[in-house]
């Protein structure tokens, strides 16, 4: 029997999660969470879930699949009919081993101080140790998620209010976490002291507040952006409004630079900077660092578009569409037979010969992971008649795996770990290859080297990794 | 209970069908058809089907849904295990009334000369009359499709070979049809005498031929483009190879100009002209016809991209991304509550404020149908801070419904039928509005006025319509 | 990968269809059809369908699966909301080759005199010839069902009313047919001249009429039984009430005797005779023909129960339950591994050791087809401690295939075709084996030899079979 | 929109669970568990699950639905391919509030001493208190099941081996539990000290052991019955074989008498007594206690069959089938319209008029809960022509709810709580009504009053109930 295969033509890092929460008594909190998860779907396509409370009880629906697959008219109606006042949601991608329904989020648990729902984006580096300690105290675990470790910590720490409980646990937890936490009467957002993963707050026009991984999640429900939750800060939203509390500080911040490069949606702002604009600056800087004589600048859609616009503008080379992306290919499809596999990249990306024929082409991508797709792209551009193919990458070489919430390959699978740019150029068959430098990245963006994690490029992890 | 609603934010005409066929004994004809339908999915998202013959029997699988929904590992395996030599496929959109599984295609029928599978793109203008005549002769119909009328004509015309039968019927059939027809040993492609809907032929590297509505369907299976089937021409592919036959002529050709404007994929070529390049020319001409002082040119994604690139290049105004499209919204989604409907356009299109703030923006779309989405787009651009919004449409005003294979509204629903451009500008709230002129359309493209149907713009239908 | 296998432990003939129709303006005709199909589900478990008219239009829903699978809340609501005045339905089992959704019924077609829905139970012996003739006249066929042949005949015969059309076709059609036919204003029932398959009429308490294959279909909607449609008779129900017309006669009737033996539900009456009572008489006669010294009489559930009750009563031997049937096994289930197949019969039938141990057991089944299950049953009874196992079959040996609407094996697969009862006894390992004689069958039941088809026992088909 | 309704025509108590486990390295443990759950499906039809270990890891699949719905070819293959050595499974019915996927079993958890899977049948009467205590110690709960309470107790009790942990918890747990517990190298079965719910052990022919709620679960995998796990006993199965340990004793046993009356399958043996035989004895005793002049004894199928056979034999009145049960009605179906609800009981049970007309009928049912179905049954029997209807119930009046693993109504919904037998007779419209007496129940069966729980009849609960 034929088997569906992963349609991994993009050869990209994958974000692990998106989180959302809304406090808005009297409004359609389930509907807003549903819309919010649609807006954050790019952050995780493996499972989705919504939990809602009406001030007394908590209901939940979650399963494997896209938001549009997990929720149908019946299941969404049942949640909506619950008449909730607060809701939270989650979309998730996971590494292979733990792709199981029990690991879907939000996690809903009941402990001595009531019910708790938890949506978590990130990765706890000392999760094994924390888990071991909890097990030694007699706790058991039903999932393999960090979120269950966090919830267990909250449950056992013995504080009467959930905000005190979270605060009391925070010193123990090392790693990346942007949390949305819901009790029957409160919505809470927290970011780890280094602020590795994003989380922002917005205000609804008719009252109430929204928490979301990205501002595009605020936009879709008509919420006005207030601010990003600060590293080490907790935001508590309840009937007395919104209040903030600094619960932990870390001199060194470490916001994930890859959110700007690839993960976040271009229409989102992070700490006041728009992602699309940032990528245009990366593209412009790339044009300055690696200039080339050429006829056209084309993006690898969609992730290369913003940087390609910037490159074209800076270099004065004409911007063009040279590769068309098929919008109907999902995460997997069925490859019917072996000899059709060769043409499989063209089911997702097809070149426009009339644009490319006889042209010297600069093709812009945001990153190279294993290099396999880059080689195919160079090949199809050349097959389509491009005279020269100059690949430009709007980030530095990815050399180290992420341990803070991103699904990456091990170093051995990262082509730049073991090969120089010139070797990579040769392997992918391009006429030239240029990566944005780390210095250029910071300089172009105006971001501070000290406030960001760029460990995938430089290996400087913000935490000592567990063994 | 909540109900899923049509997510018709795009307010576009909708193509009704895509057709595909492959003759390649010894190769994976089912797999190729599956890939071909993926490539043609933009031409119809309501139902999909594949029929295959092994030279003796014919098997079929079809249902409502996207290609990825209709075919799973099991159903595709069953078709593939059949060991076919010829296959044909179909994707379909239909007008509301006839959205029923029995209307899915290909139509497979058995008549005195054996089994027949038929995939049809187009619309027969005298279908009611033909149907009535056939009913008067004692025929019955199980679907409401034109395709069943065509198949019935072929069955009753009394010719021993299917090509003679088709030829004999062709004089009776008035309207638009690009047909792919399969018997147990032949694959046949036909276009109506005016050549209204597209169909092209390609050759497989290891032998065999492919028919597809667009060249993107050839690319995806690695077939080399040979030529477009000519208006009034029949292409017969069997064990003796490919032969062509002119079976009907019409002095006036009438290829659907809207294929260039919106329907076809930008990477497809039609009669040697690339669709993306044509749209860039429309955009450039639009810039000449309706120049404006502005800071940015942005497309309404995806259909406005090519023209926006052309407009930007011609005008010298910077090209930018100002609206981001959510790729996870399908054809319908569930709108949870009334007051969330206002924000619903933003679930599909979200503006980038940092790009737009304080800017004079030219926004390029390919067409305006009812105008509702245009108004929303102007609004969200202004809400995002655009100082001026100048809408430019890369086609003339759509004033008349199509009766030749496109799902259009009646004239009363077409805003340009009853309103002048200035009135429309006022309704949608733009600072200026410019449509491409019909003359400009032809001049820019180099297409001949006499070879195309532009009835949606000028009301000059290639056929007298049935009453 | 594991594959579901047919759970054919019963080794029985299978009825091919059940039909239902209701004329009741102002009442819930869709709901009644749904209930009626549930009552007739034993007559066909492969596909189900309902068509309904409101006097103008006709809607339909049909698919592969049980009634409970084909209709969910949404699809049944859509049909019910249509506000129909007449409805008809169908459940179907089919022989292997034609198990395809397009063959599901009712068949809905439009011909010169309007729309027509057709539900058919039976088998036309000259269908190939009729089909060939129709094809020669230029007709095509989209299914492989006899029903489409009948509908085509009706469409082409040129009579203005459907009852005249049916009458005009009836002489041409040879074979078994119980038809329910619906137009926008009439419901029609017809049985073939020999009356091979059953059909009866009932009256609703609030007005309106019901047609059903069996009286259990009347009971479930509260209809009062009026009479069986007579062989060769047509019943027309419309706004002027119910009228009957004898449209064809055949001196020899040929009602399928197997309806009494196995197919029909025990609570149904056929032509005034209750099926359960008839089976008790078969059992009693069997006790007279094949007496045996024993301690217990047990049935093979469920089909042997009625006859076992009759056998026990006549013989004076204690009736007992010795085999328990698992009610949760559907038509297929997944047999995990080869070595578990041995125990597979016990997943469906499990013996009660405490009942059987040390006992001389008479086990009653209604028929033996291939004999495989009988052998397994004898084995599990002996394994459970039965001292002697005497098998008694409440019908004569099945030696010939049916060609009139029943799914049977070819003669070569019928164990009684090539083996004597003594040989069969030896093969299945029973201590004795007795079949009811043909004479006993008629004598016990009071049925007339001349009015029934018993071709599966005696090879005397009511029609000359087509070559 | 129409809604599916619970098809609760039977008006019965409902068992809450069935458990199964198998230790058989080198054999198809997943396949055996699948078959075992099919055999135990009558004990719970709401969710099903299987967990399996290969000695290192543990995999699980569970969901809402019947065994045949939860496991398809793909999911069962994935479990089977895991190559397990031990497996356990669970089928479940639950009370309304907690019908949620997270509550499906087996529960799989990881604690300090490794992975643990738990299948539980029963009800812990002090679960709230235990849960509260655990929460006070800092534990949280993700489900509302007693099983999670038990697992948490095991995890926190601090014993290195799971058998010691279970032993250490047993004194704290009050209530009914038959547990199957699996670690990576052991399979454990435990029954509560009073032995309220059943559990038995069998030996596989090729080595290995099976635990099942009923012996029918052993039969289906070919296992030989060894013995019932004793009240308060633990059975440990690992590579050194099977050993037993008495871990708790209670002078008073309290096996659920309702297992004999209704829950257990008739082909199962409990502690050496066959269920069917026991029910025949109840029927015979009932005939002695409540004799009546009548023509026929008929059962309410299926649960009344065994007792009806006993009643008929003892009384000398003819046994007959008078009500036919539709086998295709599942737990819910869609009732199309209000006025069809009256006939709805006949979709599940249809009388045979020819059997009943003019007859004095004794109808045997196993119990009466709310009385609604009994009234309908009397009505349809009378409508079918029965001259007299004498209802006989093969158990005493059900007056008190169960708190030990059975889904019962509150007392206010139990008709016998507030009405005398004569009042009930009048309400249901029977000519006479007789219940088996408690004394008769014990006397007939030979069971000891002191070893059984009959609280639903006499209100003598084996535990003081929690407030």
| Chain C interface mutation, best of D323, D354, D379, D445, highest count of C Cβ atoms under 10 Å | D354
CB-closest option in C221, C330, C340 to D28: C340
CB-closest option in A107, A110, A135 to D111: A135
Q: Say if C326 is an interface residue toward chain D (CB within 8 Å).
A: yes
Q: How far apart are CA D123 and CA D408, in angstroms?
A: 13
Q: Do B216 and A267 touch (CB under 8 A)?
A: no
Percent of chain C scoring above 90 in pLDDT:
76
Q: Do D305 and C321 touch (CB under 8 A)?
A: yes
A298 phi/psi in degrees, rounded to 5: -125, 145
**pLDDT string in tens for chain A (467-residue length):** 566 655 444 567 766 799 999 999 999 999 999 999 999 999 999 999 999 999 999 999 999 999 999 998 888 988 988 889 999 999 998 653 356 788 899 999 999 999 999 999 998 999 999 999 999 999 999 998 899 999 999 999 989 899 999 999 988 999 999 999 999 999 999 999 999 999 999 999 999 999 999 999 999 999 999 999 999 999 999 999 999 999 887 888 999 999 999 999 999 999 999 999 999 999 999 999 999 999 999 999 999 999 999 999 999 999 999 999 998 887 667 776 766 766 667 888 999 999 999 999 999 999 999 898 899 999 999 999 999 999 999 999 999 998 887 776 688 889 999 999 999 999 999 999 999 999 999 999 898 888 999 999 999 999 876 54
Q: Say if C143 is an interface residue toward chain D (CB within 8 Å).
A: no
Q: Say if C379 is an interface residue toward chain D (CB within 8 Å).
A: no
Q: Do D267 and C352 touch (CB under 8 A)?
A: yes
Q: Do D321 and C333 touch (CB under 8 A)?
A: no
Q: Say if B157 is an interface residue toward chain C (CB within 8 Å).
A: yes
CA atoms within 13 A on the CB side of B180: 33
Polymer length of chain B: 467
Coil/strand/helix, residue D325:
strand
pLDDT (tens digit per residue) in B300-329: 999 999 999 999 999 999 999 999 999 888
Q: Say if A342 is an interface residue toward chain B (CB within 8 Å).
A: yes
Q: How far apart are CA A347 and CA B36, in angstroms?
A: 9
Q: How far apart are CA D245 and CA D226, in angstroms?
A: 16
Coil/strand/helix, residue C82:
coil
Contact between D166 and D150 (Cβ < 8 Å) = no
pLDDT for the residue numbered B410: 80
Q: Do D140 and A155 touch (CB under 8 A)?
A: yes
CB-closest option in D42, D276, D339 to C321: D276
CA atoms within 13 A on the CB side of D24: 24
Element (H, E) at B14: strand B14-15
Per CB-CB distance under 8 Å, the chain D contacts of C330 are 68
| Chain A interface mutation, best of D138, D148, D150, D154, highest count of A Cβ atoms under 10 Å | D138
Q: Do A140 and D151 touch (CB under 8 A)?
A: yes
Total beta-carbon pairs less than 8 A apart between chain C and chain D:
201
Percent of chain D scoring above 90 in pLDDT:
75
Per CB-CB distance under 8 Å, the chain D contacts of C336 are 28, 30-32, 34-35, 76, 80
State chain C's mean pLDDT as an integer.
Answer: 91
- Compare all CA atoms of chain C with the CA of B112 and give the residue at the minimum distance: C135
CB-closest option in C30, C313, C350 to D219: C350
Annotated catalytic residue, options C17, C200, C216, C456: C17
In chain B, count H helices and then E strands: 17, 28
- Please list the active-site residues of B: 17
> Could you tell me the sign of the dihedral formed by the alpha carbons of B162, B163, B168, B170, in that order?
positive
Is it the case that residue D204 has pLDDT exceeding 80?
yes
Give the DSSP per-residue string, A316-341. -PEE---EEE-TT--SEEE---GGGG
| Chain C interface mutation, best of D299, D340, D349, highest count of C Cβ atoms under 10 Å | D340
Place of tokens 């050194």: D240
Q: Give me the mean pLDDT over the C363-381 stretch.
A: 94
| C424 token code pair | 């069969």
Per CB-CB distance under 8 Å, the chain A contacts of B71 are 334
Q: How far apart are CA A362 and CA A349, in angstroms?
A: 17
Total beta-carbon pairs less than 8 A apart between chain A and chain B:
201
Neighbours of chain A (3+ CB pairs under 8 A): B, D
Is it the case that residue C104 has pLDDT exceeding 50?
yes
Q: Which one, of D364, D379, D461, D371, lies nearest residue D416 by Cα?
A: D371
| Chain B interface mutation, best of C57, C127, C135, C139, highest count of B Cβ atoms under 10 Å | C139
Element (H, E) at A288: helix A275-289
pLDDT for the residue numbered B18: 96
Place of tokens 């032993």: D167
Q: Say if B276 is an interface residue toward chain A (CB within 8 Å).
A: yes
DSSP 8-state assignment for residue A437: P
| A274 token code pair | 């728009």
Q: Do D350 and C80 touch (CB under 8 A)?
A: no
Distance between B412 CA and the closest CA of chain C, angstroms: 27
Residue C17 annotated among the catalytic residues of the structure: yes
Q: Do D140 and A110 touch (CB under 8 A)?
A: yes
Polymer length of chain A: 467
Coil/strand/helix, residue A144:
coil
Place of tokens 């029909």: C264
Q: How far apart are CA A149 and CA A140, in angstroms?
A: 10
Q: Say if A235 is an interface residue toward chain B (CB within 8 Å).
A: no
> Domains, chain C, ranges and CATH?
13-251 (3.60.20.10), 276-445 (3.40.50.2020)
Place of tokens 């942005």: B298
Q: Say if B383 is an interface residue toward chain A (CB within 8 Å).
A: no
pLDDT (tens digit per residue) in B171-188: 899 999 999 999 999 999
Q: Render the burial of D36-51: b for 16+ CB within 10 Å, e for the rest.
A: bbbbbbbbbbbbbbbb
pLDDT for the residue numbered A435: 98
Place of tokens 């919830």: A151
Q: Do C1 and D222 touch (CB under 8 A)?
A: no
Q: State the pairing for strand pair B233-238/B187-191.
A: antiparallel
Q: Render the burial of C397-414: b for 16+ CB within 10 Å, e for the rest.
A: bbbbbbbbbbbbbeeeeb
CB-closest option in A267, A339, A350 to B267: A350
Cβ-proximal residues to C29 (8 Å cutoff; 6+ apart), any chain = C22, C23, C52, C84, C85, C86, C87
| Chain C interface mutation, best of D347, D349, D376, D381, highest count of C Cβ atoms under 10 Å | D347
Tell me how far apart the 2 most distant CA atoms of chain A are, in Å: 71
**How confident is residue D7, by pLDDT bands cut at 50, 70 and 90?**
very low
Q: Do B220 and A274 touch (CB under 8 A)?
A: no
C202 phi/psi in degrees, rounded to 5: -135, 165
CB-closest option in C28, C74, C309 to D319: C309
Element (H, E) at D239: none
Per CB-CB distance under 8 Å, the chain A contacts of D158 are 138
**How confident is residue C290, by pLDDT bands cut at 50, 70 and 90?**
very high
Per CB-CB distance under 8 Å, the chain C contacts of D1 are 73-74, 77
Peptide bond into D302 cis (omega under 30): yes
Q: Give me the mean pLDDT over the D440-449 stretch.
A: 90
Q: Do A266 and B324 touch (CB under 8 A)?
A: yes
pLDDT for the residue numbered A94: 65
What pairs with residue D360 in β-bridges? D388
Residues 79-118 of A with CB under 8 A from D: 100-102, 107-112, 116
Per CB-CB distance under 8 Å, the chain B contacts of A41 are 326, 328
SS (H, E, C) C177-197: EEEEEECCCCEEEEECCCCCC
């Amino acid at each position: 029997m034929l088997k569906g295969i992963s349609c991994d033509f993009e050869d990209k890092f994958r974000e692990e999660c998106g989180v959302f929460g809304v406090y808005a008594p009297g409004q359609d909190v389930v509907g807003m969470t549903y819309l919010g998860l649609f807006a954050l779907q790019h952050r995780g396509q493996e499972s989705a879930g919504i939990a809602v409370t009406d001030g007394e009880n908590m209901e939940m629906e979650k399963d494997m699949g896209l938001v549009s697959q997990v929720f149908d008219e019946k299941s969404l109606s049942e949640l909506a009919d619950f008449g909730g006042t607060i809701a939270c949601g989650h979309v998730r991608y996971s590494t292979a081993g733990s792709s199981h329904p029990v690991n879907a989020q939000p996690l809903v648990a009941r402990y001595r101080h009531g019910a708790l729902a938890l949506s978590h984006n990130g990765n706890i580096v000392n999760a094994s140790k924390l888990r071991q300690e909890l097990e030694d105290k007699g706790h058991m675990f039903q999932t393999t998620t960090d979120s269950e470790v966090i919830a267990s910590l909250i449950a056992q720490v013995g504080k009467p209010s959930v905000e005190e409980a979270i605060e009391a646990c925070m010193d123990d937890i090392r790693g990346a976490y942007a949390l949305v936490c819901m009790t029957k009467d409160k919505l809470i957002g927290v970011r780890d002291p280094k602020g590795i993963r994003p989380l922002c707050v917005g205000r609804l026009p008719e009252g109430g507040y929204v928490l979301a991984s990205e501002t595009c999640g605020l936009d879709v429900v008509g919420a006005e952006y207030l601010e990003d939750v600060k590293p080490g800060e907790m935001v508590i939203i309840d009937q007395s409004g919104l209040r903030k509390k600094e619960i932990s500080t870390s001199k060194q911040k470490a916001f994930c630079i890859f959110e700007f490069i690839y993960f976040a949606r271009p229409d989102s702002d992070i700490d006041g900077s728009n992602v699309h604009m940032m990528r245009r600056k990366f593209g412009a800087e790339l044009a300055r660092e690696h200039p080339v004589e050429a006829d056209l600048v084309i993006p690898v859609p969609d992730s290369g578009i913003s940087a390609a616009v910037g490159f074209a503008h800076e270099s004065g080379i004409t911007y063009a569409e040279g590769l068309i992306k098929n919008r109907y290919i999902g995460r997997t499809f069925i490859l019917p037979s072996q000899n059709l596999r060769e043409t499989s990249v063209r089911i997702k990306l097809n070149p426009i010969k009339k644009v490319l024929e006889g042209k010297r082409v600069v093709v812009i991508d945001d990153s190279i992971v294993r290099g396999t797709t880059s080689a195919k792209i160079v090949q199809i551009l050349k097959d389509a008649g491009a005279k020269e193919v100059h690949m430009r990458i709007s980030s530095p070489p990815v050399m180290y795996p992420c341990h803070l919430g991103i699904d990456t390959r091990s170093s051995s699978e990262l082509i730049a770990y073991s090969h120089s740019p010139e070797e990579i150029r040769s392997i992918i068959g391009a006429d030239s290859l240029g990566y944005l430098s780390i210095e250029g990245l910071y300089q172009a963006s105006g971001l501070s080297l000290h406030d960001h994690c760029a460990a995938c490029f430089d290996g400087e992890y913000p935490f000592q990794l567990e063994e």
